[in-house]
């Protein structure tokens, strides 16, 4: 059930690194700040709020209630975090925290800090302070370190509306990297890489886990690593500008201390290199069709760098990227096909089990095409023009130069071809030589080629060098992505993929994960072995990043055309969304030749602990008692929990431990934590216990053990009666023993609070002898499944002596037959021709088939038109050609006359027997014209349909919420039929909103129609509505919708005061008469003669004052009737919106906003200076968990106070204790009367009238002679209503 209380804050307790990184310093200024003395610092930083959340929520659910919490905090804390730096061992340091009240009224705030040997709050701890409006309250924190290390703590400020957590950190040993303030690259060629190397020194006293980052066009290597204290390393910064002009950036340095990052300013100027073309315009001469022509140009490099060039299609990189985006967008529609276009195809594929494969294949193909687009270098390409590198021979002489190519077979010379191989070059002329190369071997080569020139003593030499690479080896995965989905913190999850080698040679591979750490991660199975591990409450402390991914195998060799299955296991110790890449390195070829994307989301499941307060009641000193906490996991992920062991001291009043403190709770299940308690001192005790959730160390579950140490004389053993898992509606028994260690026999009576009809107690009443014992048997017959808890009350005489718990888990079903089916169902001996039916009702079939009788009729109409228009009329006649089956068809009219341009409508009627098919040919004769043939086919069938369900079990629903269910109506026959569905006329006047959509329609053969039922019960209690379905001419059929409606409610073990309210008095009188009548009938049926005698002898009924209602069950019934009355009054408004719209949420919520009678808690007379306490039991009598909030602001300045203000998700039939305390020290003499509201989420508001009378006693002594008289003022003491139990 959703709650309306504010969500629990998910902000971490320690200040996030992202917020710390938002402030960067130059290295020189950072060094200056780090060596300042912390005592000289003033906490005057930027003031913004630390983590603020709702005050002490019971659980971490996301439910919300109408609350008094403000969206903006009433207090401002400055600074938001206290950080002690540069401290010395055993030297005292102090910092001041300011708490400012931004409200217009004085506000109380309680400042508390857990006890620590290193941090001390220099003001009263765990007490309230009143902060005037607009002023600040200084808080001084003292820090005394005993060694040079990091410390962390926190300060908590509690108000009636919020909880403010201020982190406190002390940074001892630190890593400090020495970087320059600025790095200048001066002038550098554009589109060229220029590098500078820095020598970095760690001048700190701690190893630095560093991370370096910068922005384009700058880059840095290495980007991350570890540098030991006092060590040095080289850092290379590269400047690669793509455009000319000035460029600036910063080199950010972040270390593992969580402090501000430092940054080095980077600057460089990009200029064009002296590289040019021989011409910037190329004109090719006239060329015949189907022939080629060419011209030559030169690229000249006059700079001092090697120039690598490419001929591109687009002038800039931005234009290239725009074209790539355009091409990817063209591929996008293939990837994002609208679902409506493939409904029929998907349905067919799902039946064949291949839809997922086709979708994955389509996605893979699109992904491959998009990768090709991204890898395209966008070189120049044209259907007509081409650019190729050429070799030219130039004649610098004055005469013609005949030349000839000299062939060679050395090395790779035979792989080259030159065209032309010979020719004559005129004086000053140029001959272009085209070279082709067909490599046959891999490796580097350098070859000289000679051209002889007639008349020249030396040859012209051309040197060609390069490297021939083998075909790139290819590996690919069988999937595009490994998606782990949601995984639980610390729980290993494994996925499998396949790496395939399609190449003709074996390949040796190594796998690595991007951005993964080196320190092994901690699994939940290791964590539960040690309940004293500090990571339960402080989290896991890694010296380096954790290694959360494991690949098996991590390396190996894949044979040609072979494959290797890879198991990837993720054990996350970080709550985050993972976007990682698994890279494949090949020996001898390169790194990252293949990759696979890996995604996952690590979560910590929300575990809830019940009960919030574990009651041990009266415990004999130093005697162990065992109870159990229940750890409930309603999520789809497993969780790991651990009870933090107790730190005992000499004066610890209560010892507790657990034989099984840690464990794992599976999804949607419940685990138990047994807690053994041993009270050491007399009196009442409330012992706080912390249950940690692995991965959620910032939000430990705090629960309470409540016990009372006493030298008991009457007590039950055991105090927790556990039935375990028992089948519902079947009796199961457990036994406990009542002990009397007193010196007199004592009368006792035992009762159960919540469901007395489910339990039989023998004996229920009796006498415990002196120093004796009596065994008691409780037989439970549960009427429900799931967790059931009840309270057992032990009365000694007429007083409630003690209470203890009864717990069971109902299993099985709540429906049984009056005759068993196993081991056999015997029908006995019966007459041969008579039917005998056993007395049980089978479920109705899901499909209904109804016959139409012996025949069905289906009409078809045929239109014929004379296309010609002769001067005379045409006469036509019809004649069925085949006698067999023709009797099933009739044609009207069988003959007639058509005037020119006239039409005649012809009716064909088929009358066949059930499940028969007939086929004939009808002939239409035209006098003086042709004969036309018309094929007739008919089939007789019956209407049949099926319903997915005929009874909609809505279960438990909120009576004022709109819900919906669906039923599918399918046409299982061969004939289209019409249908109609409406609410039964007899039930249309009943309260609530019950609508179905659609209400009419038709369904073709094989078709389906989803019927949507929308309903809001309107009033609490069981509801049932019947909708009548009419299909064709068949008999109507009923669809029943039923369930039970409820509303959130609570009950308090206090009486009501309805005196003077005529409405309440009449209603209560009616309920009492009805209850007494039912009670007397029930007692006559269930009581044995012995129990009747015991009740007559021992029970003394208590008659309350006029106008007081002490019976809790009557109170619950009266609240239900008041809700019903208010809902019926608004019924007309609810249905006025129909059928166009449904009632709005505001109107629905108003159904529970009724005025209820007030509970009365009268403390009676309290002497001034004394404190009076009462403990109330608030119970959830409803069907679902309930959340409520106590408005403690109403008690301010009244002397009354309570020990809690809000509870979330109190389970069904569970009870929580509310302690009400009245302090009279600061109250004047007289009556105190205050109203305490309790707001129930999505339910009514309950009010408790708190009363007390403050008394100041005065003693008067007067007398005459020997006679004296004592007088007290006031002369009488007034006692009020209080709960009756111990």
The model's pLDDT over 339-359, given as tens digits with 9 standing for 90+, comes to 444 444 445 444 444 455 566
Q: Which of the residue ranges 12-21, 296-305, 483-492, 902-911 would you say has the lowest mean pLDDT? A: 12-21
Q: What is the pLDDT of residue 607?
A: 92
Distance CA 767, CA 769 (A): 6
In this predicted structure, what is the pLDDT of residue 59? 38
Dihedral of the alpha carbons of 472, 475, 479, 480, in degrees to the nearest 10:
-30
pLDDT band, residue 1275 (cuts 50/70/90): very low
Read off the tokens for 756: 């007395």
Structure confidence at residue 22 as a pLDDT band (50, 70, 90): very low
Q: In the chain, what percentage of residues exceed pLDDT 70?
A: 78
The answer on pLDDT for 1074 being more than 80 is no
**Looking at residue 160, what is its pLDDT?**
75
Give 1063's pLDDT tier (boundaries 50, 70, 90): confident
Q: How far apart are CA 687 and CA 614, in angstroms?
A: 10
CB 981 within 8 A of CB 1029: yes
pLDDT tens digits, 1159-1217: 899 988 888 888 888 888 898 888 788 888 888 888 888 899 888 777 888 887 788 88
**Secondary structure of residue 698 in the 3-state scheme:** coil
Q: Which pLDDT value is given to residue 788?
A: 84
Q: If pLDDT is split at 50, 70 and 90, which confidence band does 941 have?
A: confident
Mean pLDDT of the 158-175 span: 84
Q: Assign 1080 to helix, strand or coil.
A: helix
Separation of alpha carbons 532 and 1169, rounded Å: 44
Q: For residues 601 and 485, is the Cβ–Cβ distance under 8 A?
A: yes
The CA distance from 577 to 1267, in Å, is: 91
Q: Which of 1212, 1187, 1213, 1234 is nearest to 61 (CA)?
A: 1187
- For residue 1112, give the H/E element and its range: helix 1112-1129
Q: Comparing 427-431, 739-743, 833-837, 985-989, which segment has the lowest mean pLDDT? A: 833-837
pLDDT for 832 equals: 44
Per the document, the length of the chain is 1286
State pLDDT tens for residues 223-256: 888 888 888 889 999 999 988 899 999 999 888 7
How many whole angstroms separate alpha carbon 1229 and alpha carbon 1239?
Answer: 31
Helix axis angle, 317-335 to 355-375, nearest 10°: 170
> Is the pLDDT at 865 greater than 70, yes or no?
no
Phi first, then psi: what are they for 583, rounded to 5°? -105, 145
At 1256, phi and psi to the nearest 5?
-115, 110
The lowest-confidence range among 568-572, 640-644, 654-658, 1115-1119 is 1115-1119
Chain Cα centroid distance, residue 634 = 11
Distance CA 798, CA 794 (A): 10
Q: What is the per-residue pLDDT across 92-137, written as a single tens digit (0 to 9) for each?
A: 899 998 888 888 888 888 889 998 889 998 888 888 878 888 888 8
| Res 1139 pLDDT > 90 | no
Q: Is the pLDDT of residue 755 over 80?
A: yes
Give the pLDDT score at 32.
Answer: 60
Residue 872 in this model has a pLDDT that exceeds 50: no
Q: CA-CA distances (angstroms) from residue 1003 to 250, 451, 973, 979? A: 70, 89, 10, 8
Q: Which helix (H) or strand (E) holds 981?
A: strand 977-983
How many Å apart are CA 615 and CA 224, to the nearest integer? 54
Q: What pLDDT digit, counting tens, does each position of 444-461 carry?
A: 888 888 889 888 888 888
- Structural contact between residues 563 and 501, judged by C-beta atoms closer than 8 angstroms: yes
pLDDT in tens, 1009-1053: 999 888 788 788 888 888 989 998 888 889 998 888 888 889 898
Q: What is the pLDDT of residues 560-598, one digit of tens each?
A: 889 999 999 999 988 888 888 999 998 877 888 888 999
Q: Tell me the C-alpha distance between 892 and 897, whole Å.
A: 13
Tokens of 402: 């005949």
User: What is the three-class DSSP state of 24?
Assistant: strand
Q: What is the pLDDT of residue 776?
A: 94
- DSSP for 401-462? EEEEEE---STTGGGEEEESSEEEE-TT-EEEEEEEE---S-EEEEEEEEEEETT-SS-EEE
**Cα–Cα distance, 548 to 516 (Å, whole number):** 7
In the prediction, which pLDDT does 749 show?
92
Q: Is the model's pLDDT at 523 over the cut of 70?
A: yes
Confidence of residue 376 (pLDDT cuts 50, 70, 90): confident
| pLDDT confidence bin for 854, thresholds 50/70/90 | very low
* Closest listed residue to residue 804, CA positions, set 689, 717, 682: 717
Question: End-to-end CA distance of the chain, in Å?
Answer: 34
Question: What's the pLDDT band for 1257 if we cut at 50, 70, 90?
Answer: low
Q: Which helix (H) or strand (E) holds 592?
A: strand 590-603
Mean local confidence (pLDDT), 874-886: 51
- What does the buried/exposed string (b/e) look like for 235-256 if buried means 16 or more CB atoms within 10 Å of the residue's CB? bebebbbeeeeebebbbbbbbb
1078 has pLDDT over 60? no
- At residue 684 the predicted structure's pLDDT band, cuts being 50, 70 and 90, is confident
Q: What is the mean pLDDT of residues 637-649?
A: 92
Q: E strands, 1185-1274, where?
A: 1186-1190, 1200-1202, 1206-1210, 1215-1223, 1230-1240, 1245-1255, 1258-1264, 1267-1273
For the record, the structure tokens of 843 come out as 């479920």
Q: Is the pLDDT of residue 1234 over 60?
A: yes
- Cα separation, 1152 vs 1122, in Å, equals 9
Q: What is the CA radius of gyration of the chain?
A: 45
712: CB partners within 8 A, 6+ apart: 618, 619, 620, 741
Place of tokens 């006890």: 115
CA dist 461 and 953 (Å) reads 96
Q: Is residue 1241 scored above 70 in pLDDT? A: yes
* Confidence bin at 23 (pLDDT 50/70/90): very low
Higher pLDDT, 402 or 1023: 402
Residue 37 has pLDDT above 50, yes or no: no
Name the band, by pLDDT with cuts 50, 70 and 90, for residue 67: very low
Please work out, in degrees rounded to the nearest 5, the angle formed at the alpha carbon of residue 621 by the alpha carbons of 619 and 625: 45
What's the rounded Cα separation, in Å, for the pair 1150 and 1152?
A: 5
Q: What is the mean pLDDT of residues 35-57?
A: 44
Q: What percent of the chain has pLDDT over 90?
A: 19
- pLDDT for 704 equals 92
- In DSSP terms, 773 is beta-bridged to 739
1168/1253 Cα distance (integer angstroms): 9
> Among residues 1117, 1128, 1108, which one has the least CA distance to residue 1074?
1117
Please, what is the Cα angle at 621 between 619 and 622, to 5 degrees?
110
Residue 1173 half-sphere exposure, CB side, CA atoms within 13 Å?
8
Segment 602-629, tens digit of pLDDT: 999 999 998 888 888 778 888 888 999 9
pLDDT averaged over every residue in the chain: 78
Strand pairing report for 275-277 and 299-301: antiparallel
Q: What is the pLDDT of residue 658?
A: 93
Q: 828 exposed, middle or buried (CB, 10 Å; 0-12, 13-18, 19+)? A: exposed
The reported pLDDT for the residue numbered 296 is 77
433 touches 392 (CB < 8 A): yes
Q: Report the 3 state secondary structure along 746-772.
A: EEEEEEECCCHHHEEEECCEEEECCCE
Element (H, E) at 622: none
């Amino acid at each position: 059930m959703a709650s309306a209380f504010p969500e629990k804050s998910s902000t971490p307790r320690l200040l996030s690194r992202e917020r710390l990184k938002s402030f960067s310093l130059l290295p020189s200024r950072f060094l200056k700040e780090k060596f300042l003395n912390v005592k000289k610092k003033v906490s005057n930083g930027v003031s913004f709020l630390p983590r603020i959340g709702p005050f002490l929520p019971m659980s971490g659910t996301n439910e919300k209630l109408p609350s008094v919490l403000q969206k903006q905090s009433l207090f401002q804390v400055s600074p938001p975090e206290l950080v002690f730096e540069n401290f010395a061992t055993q030297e005292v340091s102090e910092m001041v925290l300011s708490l400012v009240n931004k409200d217009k009224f004085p506000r109380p705030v309680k400042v508390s800090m857990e006890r620590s040997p290193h941090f001390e709050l220099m003001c009263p701890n765990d007490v309230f302070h009143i902060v005037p409006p607009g002023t600040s309250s200084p808080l001084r924190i003292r820090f005394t370190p005993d060694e040079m290390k990091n410390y962390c703590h926190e300060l908590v400020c509690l108000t009636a509306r919020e909880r403010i957590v201020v982190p406190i950190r002390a940074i001892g040993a630190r890593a400090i990297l020495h970087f320059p303030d600025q790095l200048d690259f001066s002038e550098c060629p554009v589109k060229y890489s220029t590098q500078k190397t820095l020598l970095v020194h760690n001048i700190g006293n701690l190893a630095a886990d560093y991370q370096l980052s910068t922005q384009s066009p700058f880059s840095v290597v290495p980007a991350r690593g570890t540098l030991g204290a006092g060590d040095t390393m080289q850092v290379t910064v590269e400047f690669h500008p793509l455009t000319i002009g000035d460029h600036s950036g910063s080199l950010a340095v972040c270390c593992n201390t969580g402090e501000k990052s430092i940054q080095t300013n980077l600057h460089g100027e990009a200029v064009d290199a002296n590289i040019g073309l021989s011409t910037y315009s190329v004109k090719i001469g006239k060329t015949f069709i189907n022939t080629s022509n060419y011209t030559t140009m030169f690229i000249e490099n006059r700079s001092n760098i090697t120039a690598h060039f490419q001929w591109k299609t687009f002038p800039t990189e931005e234009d290239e990227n725009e074209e790539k985006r355009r091409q990817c967008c063209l591929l996008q529609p293939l990837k994002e096909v609208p679902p409506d276009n493939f409904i029929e195809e998907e349905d067919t594929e799902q039946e064949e089990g291949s839809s997922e494969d086709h979708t994955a294949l389509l996605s893979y193909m699109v992904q491959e095409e998009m990768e090709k687009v991204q890898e395209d270098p966008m070189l120049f390409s044209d259907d007509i023009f081409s650019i190729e590198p050429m070799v030219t021979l130039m004649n610098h002489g004055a005469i013609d130069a005949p030349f000839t190519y000299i062939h060679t077979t050395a090395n790779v010379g035979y792989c080259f071809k030159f065209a032309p191989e010979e020719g004559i070059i005129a004086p000053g002329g140029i001959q272009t030589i085209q070279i082709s190369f067909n490599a046959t071997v891999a490796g580097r080569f350098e070859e000289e080629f000679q051209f002889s020139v007639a008349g020249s003593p030396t040859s012209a030499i051309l040197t060609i060098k390069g490297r021939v690479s083998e075909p790139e080896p290819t590996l690919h995965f069988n999937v595009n992505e490994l998606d782990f989905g949601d995984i639980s913190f610390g729980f290993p999850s494994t996925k499998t993929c396949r790496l395939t080698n399609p190449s003709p040679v074996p390949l040796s591979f190594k796998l690595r994960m991007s951005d993964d750490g080196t320190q092994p991660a901690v699994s939940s199975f290791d964590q539960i072995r040690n309940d004293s591990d500090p990571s339960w409450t402080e989290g896991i402390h890694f010296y380096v990043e954790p290694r959360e991914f494991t690949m098996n195998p991590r390396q190996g060799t894949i044979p040609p055309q072979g494959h290797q299955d890879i198991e990837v296991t993720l054990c996350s110790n970080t709550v985050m969304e993972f976007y990682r890449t698994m890279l494949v390195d090949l020996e001898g070829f390169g790194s990252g030749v293949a990759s696979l994307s890996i995604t996952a989301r690590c979560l910590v499941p929300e575990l809830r602990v019940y009960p919030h307060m574990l009651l041990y009641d009266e415990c004999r000193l130093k005697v162990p008692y065992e109870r159990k906490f229940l750890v409930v996991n309603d999520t789809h992920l497993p969780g790991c929990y651990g009870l933090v062991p107790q730190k005992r001291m000499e004066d610890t009043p209560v010892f507790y431990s657990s034989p099984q403190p840690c464990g794992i709770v599976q999804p949607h299940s419940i685990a138990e934590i047994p807690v053994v308690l041993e009270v050491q001192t007399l009196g009442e005790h409330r012992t706080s216990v912390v249950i940690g959730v692995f991965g959620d160390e910032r939000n430990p579950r705090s629960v309470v053990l409540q016990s009372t140490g006493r030298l008991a004389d009457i007590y039950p053993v055991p105090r927790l009666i556990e039935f375990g898992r028992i089948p519902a509606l079947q009796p199961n028994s457990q036994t406990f023993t009542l002990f009397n260690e007193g010196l007199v026999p004592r009368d006792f009576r035992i009762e159960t609070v919540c469901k007395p009809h489910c339990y039989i107690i023998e004996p229920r009443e009796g006498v415990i002898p002196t120093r004796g014992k009596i065994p008691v048997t409780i037989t439970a017959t549960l009427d429900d499944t799931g967790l059931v808890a009840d309270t057992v009350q032990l009365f000694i005489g007429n007083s409630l002596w003690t209470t203890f718990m009864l717990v069971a888990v109902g299993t099985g079903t709540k429906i049984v037959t009056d005759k068993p089916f196993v081991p056999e169902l015997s029908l006995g001996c019966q007459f041969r021709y008579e039917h005998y039916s056993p007395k049980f009702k089978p479920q109705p079939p899901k499909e209904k088939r109804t016959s139409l009788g012996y025949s069905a009729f289906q009409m078809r109409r045929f239109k014929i038109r004379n296309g010609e228009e002769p001067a005379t009329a045409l006469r036509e006649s019809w004649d069925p050609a085949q006698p067999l089956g023709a009797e099933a068809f009739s044609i009207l009219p069988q003959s007639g006359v058509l005037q020119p341009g006239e039409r005649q409508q012809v009716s064909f009627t088929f009358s066949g027997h059930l499940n028969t098919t007939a086929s004939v040919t009808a002939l239409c004769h035209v006098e003086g014209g042709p004969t036309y043939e018309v094929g007739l086919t008919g089939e007789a069938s019956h209407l049949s349909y099926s319903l997915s369900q005929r009874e909609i079990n809505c279960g438990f629903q909120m009576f004022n919420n709109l819900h919906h269910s669906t039923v599918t109506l399918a046409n299982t026959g061969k004939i289209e039929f019409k249908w109609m569905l409406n609410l039964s006329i007899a039930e249309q006047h009943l309260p609530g909103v019950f609508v179905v959509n659609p209400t009419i329609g038709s369904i073709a053969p094989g078709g389906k129609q989803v019927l949507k039922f929308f309903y809001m019960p309107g009033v609490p209690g069981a509801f049932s509505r019947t909708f009548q379905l009419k299909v064709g001419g068949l008999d109507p059929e009923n669809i029943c919708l039923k369930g039970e409606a409820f509303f959130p409610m609570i009950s308090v073990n206090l009486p009501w005061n309805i005196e003077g309210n005529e409405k309440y008095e009449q209603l209560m009188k009616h309920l009492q008469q009805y209850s007494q009548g039912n009670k007397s009938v029930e007692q006559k049926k269930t009581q044995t003669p012995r129990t009747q005698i015991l009740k007559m002898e021992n029970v003394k009924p208590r008659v309350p004052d006029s106008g007081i209602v002490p019976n809790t069950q009557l109170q619950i019934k009266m609240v239900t009737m008041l809700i019903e009355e208010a809902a019926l009054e608004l019924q007309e408004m609810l249905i006025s919106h129909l059928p166009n719209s449904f009632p709005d949420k505001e109107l629905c919520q108003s159904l529970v906003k009724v005025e209820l009678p007030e509970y009365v808690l009268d403390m009676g007379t309290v002497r001034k200076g004394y404190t009076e306490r009462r403990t109330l039991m608030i119970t959830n009598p409803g069907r679902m968990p309930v959340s409520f909030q106590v408005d403690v602001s109403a008690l301010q300045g009244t002397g009354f106070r309570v020990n809690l203000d809000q509870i979330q998700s109190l389970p069904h039939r569970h009870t929580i204790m509310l302690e009400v305390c009245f302090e009279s020290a600061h109250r004047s003499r007289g009556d105190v009367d205050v109203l305490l509201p309790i707001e129930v989420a999505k339910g009514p508001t309950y009010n408790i009238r708190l009363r007390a009378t403050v008394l100041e006693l005065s003693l008067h002594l007067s007398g005459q002679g020997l006679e004296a008289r004592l007088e007290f003022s006031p002369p009488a003491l007034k006692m009020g209503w209080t709960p009756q139990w111990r």
